[in-house]
Amino acid sequence: MPFTIRPVVPEDTPALSRICLLTGDAGQSAEPLHRHGELPDQVWAVPYVLLPPETAQTWGFVLADDAAPDSDHTAKVIKGYILGSLDTRAFERAVEGEWWPALRIRFPLSSEVDERTTADQDYIDLIHRAPDVAPEACLAVSPAHMHINLLPEVQRHGWGRRLIGCAVDHLRGQQIGALWVGTDERNVAARRFYEKLGFRGIEGAPNKLMALNFDEAGKE
C-alpha cells in the first residue's frame, strides 16, 4: 500500500475528525452513537493540531495515501494518525485556557432545542468538567503522552508500529525517553498491540494507562 508518514498540518483536521469518529467506540465506529459526530475529535484529536504548539507542546504525524493528488486534503486521504504532547501539564493548561471555553459556549450543559444522544451528552459533560488531569504516576514515567488511531483498512499492516516509531524518534530528539497512553479497557486488541510493542502498566496508575520506556522496549 503506497502510504507516507508525515507531520500533521491543520488542513488534516477533517480527516482526524473522521477517523476519530470511525474508531471512537472501543475501536469500532461511533457514528451510530452520536448526533454531533464532531464531539469525540474535539476532545481527543483536533486540539493537538489547532492549539499553539508553543503553549500546548503538541506534536503529531499522519499516515497519508500517496495515491491521492498532492493538493487533495479531503478526509479520505489520511488513514491514521498519532498525536501527543511533550508536556502533559502544559497541554492541560492550554486546553483549559484556550480550548474548552469556546466549546462550553457552543455546547451548553443542557439545551431544549439541541437534540443530543446519550453519547453526545457524555462528551458535553466531559467538556464542561474538563477531562481528568493525568495521574502523577504517569508523569513520573514521562511528561509525554499520545493518542493513536488507524482506520480498519490499514490495521495489522505494521503502520501503527511505524507511527509509534516516528513518535519515539521525535521524542528522543527532545531528550524524552518514555511515552504513555490511555486505553479503552473494552478494546482488548489495542492493549495487545501496545503490549507487543513493549508498553506496560504504570505502577500507581489505573490499569487503562500504559507506558513505553524507549530503552527497555524490545529487550524481552
- Sequence-distant (6+) residues with CB within 8 A of 122 are none
Q: With contact defined as beta carbons under 8 Å apart, do 142 and 211 qualify?
A: yes
DSSP line for the chain: --EEEEE--GGGHHHHHHHHHHTTBTTB--GGG-SSTTHHHHHHTTHHHHS-HHHH-EEEEEEEETTS-TT---GGGEEEEEEEES-HHHHHHHHHHHTHHHHHHHS-S--SSS---HHHHHHHHHHHH-PPPPPHHHHHH-S-EEEEEE-GGGTTTTHHHHHHHHHHHHHHHTT--EEEEE--TT-HHHHHHHHHHT-EE-TTS-TTEEEEETTTTT--
- Whole-number pLDDT of residue 180: 98
Report the percentage of the chain scoring pLDDT > 90. Answer: 85
Among candidate residues 60, 62, 23, 63, the one with its CA nearest the CA of residue 41: 23
What is the CB neighbour count within 10 angstroms for residue 219?
A: 7
pLDDT tens figures, 162-192 = 999 999 999 999 999 999 999 999 999 999 9
Local confidence band at 9 (pLDDT 50, 70, 90 cut-offs): very high
How confident is the model over 96-108, as pLDDT tens digits? 999 999 999 999 9
Say which CATH class 3-213 falls into: alpha beta
Q: How confident is the model at residue 219 (pLDDT cuts 50, 70, 90)?
A: very low
Cell of 20: 476519530
First to last CA, the chain: 30
pLDDT at position 75 is: 57
Tens digits of per-residue pLDDT, 113-132?
788 999 999 999 999 987 77
What is the pLDDT, as a whole number, of residue 69?
A: 63
Q: What average pLDDT does this structure show over 205-218?
A: 89
pLDDT score at 220: 43
* pLDDT per position as a tens digit, 32-80: 999 999 999 999 999 999 999 999 999 999 999 887 765 555 556 899 9
Rounded CA-CA distance 125/19 in Å is: 22
Where are the chain's structural domains?
A: 3-213
The yes-or-no verdict on residue 202 having pLDDT over 90 is: yes
How many CB atoms within 10 Å of residue 116? 17
